[in-house]
Structures are given as structure tokens and as C-alpha cells.
Amino acid sequence: LRRTTPTPSLGPYVVTEYVPNERVVAEANPEFLGEPPAIRRVVVHKISREDLPRAFLTGEVDITVPNAVTLAQAREVQATRRDAVHIRPSAAFVFLAPDLDHPLLGRLEIRRALLMAIDRARLAETVYGDAGRIAELPVPELWPPGAVHTAYDPDASREALAEAGVIGATLKVVHQDDAMGMQILAEVRRDLEAVGIATESVVVPSTFRVAREGRWDGLLSHVLRANRDAPPGRFWNLPFENGEYVYSHRSDAFTDEVFALVERERHALYPERREQLRDALLALTTERLPNLPLVFAAERILADPSLQGWDHGSTTVFGSWLHTWHFAP
């Protein structure tokens, strides 16, 4: 498909060209009623990860989307273009999703013991350096009343697992075959095996697809963008059918009591009350552990210093304020 005429749009840009797996061209919308964007033409290129640093350094691209380059690539560019490299904590929530229908993972005391076994501080430092940080909740920079901290304690983990009679059990760890994912996998497997849980690596093309299809019979190494206003089902490890979370599903994590809180949040009349209930639900995830939180990934962006107005923080969807971007004189 190649589109060569502007598409109807009320926004500041219209797509004027689309070449699959190659590029998308957007140009200022002449029908837009607001102030026209400073950058009149934006071209989004699809470039292989291996070629991105070269394309940036030669001026072929002015900015890369978050995490398009690896941490190692960003640091290589940083050696010569320090002012163009941005490495910082992000809102990418990295976690292990337990299959709650699994005979072991459907038990809260075992999920808690597994989380105690993982040295998340070492994981964050090893994989992301000083830009990584431990995740306790699915949303960064949030600690609502009632949230529970699970400390790294391999001795207590081993004791709890022994008491549950599962020392020597084998768990599948489902993951993608990418550099960061493999590093995270190595750290997690090392810690679990140190407390007596054997692990089996299962590689899949997309953990997102597995999460949507359900039933992975183990631990799913997954990542979601943190969003405090997301539907509660997103962080409660619920099945997903026909584009909706299945709130009728029950587990030892998502109980009738939790569902009642979800219903109160959904029917709250005032925004302030809805925010309180969302915070209560997020805090409850640290107690019920529908997912095992690991870290917030480090975000990597290469950006020409003359390009300004693009940085609205890691919790804002990249490019959502594209019409405010501009090049300094």
C-alpha cells in the first residue's frame, strides 16, 4: 500500500505516504484549526537495530524511539556524543507473570517465596546500570497506603519453599529471545535455582501474544507500560477475551473481595474517589502478588540536541506531543 494523498484528520498532521516496513511520512495538516506545527514534515523510518547508531551519527535520523537501541549501543554513542544520549529510568514495568492455574503458582505463599528469592537490586544494576530501579508496584514513583514491601531474603524463601514441599520442583520460564530478556532470564534463573527451584527456558516470538492467549504453564517474563489509569485487569493477571479483561475469573489473587473493589472503582462518582480506589487496588497487588514485580527498565533515546520539545517524561507516550517539537535556531 502506498498512500500519496492526505487522509482526513482533525489533528495537526496527516499521513501523506505509507510504505510498509520502510517509512511513514506525515505532513502538517492544512485544515488544522490550531497553530501549525513548527516541523512541517516528519518521516518515521524503519531501520534495523544494528544500523541505528550509524544512521543517527550520520544525521540520517534526528531521534530514535525509546529503547530502539540497546543499552550497549547507547553507551557507545555516548562516548562521542554525550549530549545526544538519554539513559534514564522509565515506566516500562518488567515482571514475571505466574500462570495462576498452575498447581504451584496458584498459591500465594509460593509466589511470595519466589519473589523473596530474586535479588532485584542486583538484577536492575546488572541489566540497566544506574538507570535501573526495583519495581514493587506496576507504576513508578507511587507508594499508596497499604503497599507491602517484599525484601530479598533467600534463606526465608528456601524455608518457605521447603515448608510447602516444593524444593526440587521445575518451573518453565517463558520469554523472548532478545538481549535484555536473556539477561533478565539469566539473573532470575540463577536466583531461583539457588533456593532449590529448577527452571526450564521456553522461547516464544511474543510474550504479549502469550499473555493475551493465556495458559503458559509457568512464569512469563513480560513487560507492560506503567499507567496508573489503566483498567485494573491489566495488573491483576486476568484472562483476556474479545478485547476485554475477564473480571468474572477468580484466582487466589483476584478474589470476590478484590472484584468488589474493582466494581467500586468503576462506579465511583468523583475522580478523587476513583483515584483513591485505584491506589488501593495497586497497593493490593503487592499483597496478593498476581504478578511478581522485578524492575523498571532503563529507557534509551538518541536525540539531536537541536531537537527540542520532545521530552515530556518517560510516563508520557512518546510522540503524543509531536506538534510541539521544534529545532532550535
Sign of CA dihedral 175, 118, 183, 290: positive
Q: Is the pLDDT at 318 greater than 90, yes or no? A: no
Q: Quick count: other Cβ atoms within 10 Å of Cβ 56?
A: 24
Provide the pLDDT for residue 329: 83
Among the ranges given (33-37, 97-101, 141-145, 316-320), the one the predictor scored with the smallest mean pLDDT: 316-320
Between the alpha carbon of residue 305 and those of residues 114, 153, 298, 310, 324, the distances in Å are: 44, 44, 20, 11, 15
Q: Quick count: other Cβ atoms within 10 Å of Cβ 212?
A: 12
CA atoms of 233 and 239, how far apart (whole Å): 9
Query: Interior CA angle at 323 toward 322 and 325, to 5°?
Result: 65
Q: Is the pLDDT at 86 greater than 60, yes or no? A: yes
- Average per-residue pLDDT in the chain? 92
* Grid cell in block for residue 316: 508520557
Using pLDDT thresholds of 50, 70 and 90, give the confidence band for residue 129.
confident
Using pLDDT thresholds of 50, 70 and 90, give the confidence band for residue 9.
low
Between the alpha carbon of residue 166 and those of residues 97, 155, 248, the distances in Å are: 19, 15, 30
Provide the pLDDT for residue 312: 85
CA 92 vs. chain centroid, Å, equals 3
Burial 65-83 (b: 16+ CB within 10 A, else e): ebbbbbbebbeebbeebee
Provide the pLDDT for residue 8: 52
